[in-house]
Amino acid sequence: MNLRMNTRVLAPLLPVLFLGGIAIAAILGGWVTESSKVPKKLSEGEFAGEYDPGDIRGSYTFGEIEEIFAVPASVLAQAYGFTGRDDPAAIQAKALEEIYDAQPIERDIGTDSIRWFVALYTGLPYIPEEDTGLPASAVEILRERGSVDAAGWLDVERAAVEFGASVDGDAASAPATDEPPSAPAAATDAPQSAPEVETSSGTGTGTGSGNYTDDERLIKGRTTFGELLAWGVSQEQIEAVLGMPAGSRGTSMRDYFADAGVEFSLFKTGLQELVDAAR
Amino acid sequence: MKKLSGKKGVAWRARRRRRMVQAAFFVLVALISMNHFLAESGREIPILGSASLHAICPFGGVVSIIQFTTDGSFAQKTHESSWILMWIGFGVALLFGPAFCGWICPFGTFQEWVGKIGQRIMKKRYNRVVPAGVDRVLRYARYGVLAWVVYMTAVTGKLVFAEYDPYFTLFNLWTGEVAVVGYVILAVVVLLSLVVERPFCKYACPYGAVLGVFNLFRIFGIKRQASTCIDCGLCDKSCPMNINVSGVGVIRDHQCITCLECTSEVSCPVDDTVVFQAGKGGKS
């Protein structure tokens, strides 16, 4: 039997098939267009069972961070220079990368900075990436809150970044543009000269697809095992450095080391050396 | 306005149906993409969805196939929605071939719109400028793009194509998320669209390459009855993808986008000669 079709049938049928398929998937709970906004919980140590600040994603809004970690959105906005915004709860963590990338600083202020700030504010454990920075305004909030111990202050002061121009184009005042009266010394000195900073030249800043060029082969928390392999490092070499099985290709360093419960910084140099040697 | 009647009226209304569906999906995707941008700054339009463009692109599912089958996860920025759209797209393609390309894909629609300007400039030379030998080889380039994208996504776990994808660029012009190379490629596609119909679809689209394979075994196919064909060649001239419809009984060309421009409902002047049907039929 021959069944014939024309535009009179196809025109309504195609939207029905696509939109109907989406509707059915939505009814069945399968239509998911964004990542889960519930971070993983810490599995070990004193804070086992608490939400892991290391699992804050770029898509999290300040409002969601407030709900999960009890860090007020207004405090986050103040820390990162969004003081002119009417609705700080709607700001996404990844907005920092777009704004701070334009600044002539040698530290990254993005989602990882938020993770670190939340951890310092709440007292939860988190080890940031080596080149993560904190605006002087965030440092000042932490200083006033007194939630960071003396050892932690050394890292905070080293990561403090001061700006000479406004960071939020739409009305927010610049963090530390007006020098905080009691900002840490390192923040008011020349934070651009922070020790052991790896200049990132704007690498993988969260926009676009994250395709790296030769000059940008720097191991960061968002680097995936797949990228390491693509850069010419073999799985055996990776596992020799790690001393344990490597993650799947799509797994980022941050997720891998968080799951393994070990510090990323312990292995970063070794992995970077493999990448450099493979060039 | 004088209402068209008879064969011309049928053709005009058939074309209008497809254009309305195309325009509707273009507007829908543009609104969702715009709303995604607004949502990031807390100015989301209620009711209207605000998913990212990656989340509503079926190709995100295709590039995640290897990663999903090996470790159960999706490439970065893609989600279950891409996976679902991929399967819907495959189901539709199994029935009708790449109807997604001809009726729904907003970037195909955009190229057609730019092509209208090209038709006015180039007149009869429009879509006839690439030498046949070169064109025939270039048509397979999109399979190279597909292989590269799937491989690189599987290797890195990241959406490597987004940076180069002119479709992503078009709907993110206002976001600041577009790489320079994306703007360059979009500009090239726009310029090429002035002389060639759907150049990105023909030569570079990796998703079109996937769906094109379904033309080999789709249930509904474009079939030509040689017994009633008058060899006028209008089916060939009307095909945006330059397929030689008049030379075969059943169109199995991987480039067919199921636009139905060649059929007796639209361009073929003889009733029941070029038809879109399931079952037997179509002899050369």
Q: Where along chain A do its domains lie?
A: 35-192, 212-279
Angle, CA of B18, B22 and B27, to the nearest 5°: 150
Mapped onto helix, strand or coil, the DSSP state of residue B221 is: strand
Give me the percent of chain B exceeding a pLDDT of 70: 95
For A32, the 3-state DSSP assignment is: coil
Boundaries of every domain in chain B: 6-214, 220-284
Q: What are the residue ranges of helices labelled H in B64-162?
A: 65-71, 80-96, 99, 106-122, 132-138, 141-156
CA–CA separation, B77 and B55 (whole Å) = 7
Cβ A6–B265 below 8 Å, yes or no? yes
Backbone angles phi, psi at A186, to 5 degrees: -65, -30
pLDDT at residue B61 greater than cutoff 70 = yes
What burial class does residue A248 get, using C-beta atoms within 10 Å of its C-beta: 0-12 exposed, 13-18 middle, 19+ buried?
A: middle
| Cβ atoms of A93 and A80 closer than 8 Å | no
**Preferred mutation among B10, B54, B84, B151 to probe A, highest tally of A CBs within 10 A:** B84
- What is the residue whose two structure tokens read 């004193």? A46
Structure tokens at A3: 């069944």
Strand pairing category for B220-224 and A3-5 = unpaired
Amino acid identity, position B273 = T
Question: Judging by beta carbons within 10 Å of its beta carbon (0-12, 13-18, 19+), is residue B280 exposed, middle or buried?
Answer: exposed
pLDDT of residue B282: 63
Q: Inspect the interface and report whether the beta carbons of B92 and A14 lie closer than 8 Å.
A: yes
Higher pLDDT, B109 or B64: B109
Residue B146: CB atoms within 10 Å: 23
Nearest neighbour of A227 by CB, restricted to B51, B85, B156? B156
Query: Among A249, A242, A237, A248, which Cα is nearest to A276's?
Result: A237
Report the helix count and the strand count for chain B, using DSSP H and E. 13, 2
Question: Where does residue A216 rank: exposed (0-12), middle (13-18), buried (19+ CB within 10 A)?
Answer: middle
Note whether A249 contacts B157, CB cutoff 8 Å: yes
The token pair that represents A54 in the structure block = 């290391």
The confidence score (pLDDT) of residue A207 equals 28
Residue bearing the bigger pLDDT, B184 or A217: B184
Asked whether the beta carbons of residue B162 and residue A208 sit closer than 8 angstroms, the reply is yes
Of A64, A99, A68, A65, nearest to A81 (Cα)? A99
> What is the distance between the alpha carbons of residues A92 and A102, in angstroms, rounded to a whole number?
17
Four-residue CA torsion sign, A11, A16, A21, A25 = positive
Distance CA B134, CA B141 (A): 11
Strands (DSSP E) found in chain A: 3-5, 134-135, 160-161
Instruction: Give the model's pLDDT for residue A169.
Output: 40
Q: Give the best residue of A7, A61, A219 to mutate against chain B (max B CB count within 10 A).
A: A7
Q: Is A34 on the interface with B (CB under 8 A)?
A: yes
| A134-135 and A3-5 strand pairing | unpaired
Of all residues in chain A, the percent with pLDDT exceeding 70 is: 77
The pLDDT confidence band at residue A36, using thresholds 50, 70 and 90, is: low
pTM exceeds cut of 0.80:
no
Distance between B179 CA and the closest CA of chain A, angstroms = 6
Q: A128-176, pLDDT tens digit by residue?
A: 888 899 999 999 999 988 888 888 888 898 888 876 444 554 333 333 3
Neighbours of B64 (CB within 10 A): 25
Q: Which residue of chain B has the CA closest to A227?
A: B156
Window from A246-260, B206-220, B242-256 with minimum mean pLDDT: A246-260
Q: Mean of the pLDDT values across residues B15-43?
A: 90
Query: Residue B87: closest CA among chain A residues belongs to which residue?
Result: A21
CATH number of B220-284: 3.30.70
Which regions of chain B does DSSP assign to beta strands (E)?
220-224, 274-278
Average pLDDT over residues A55-77: 89
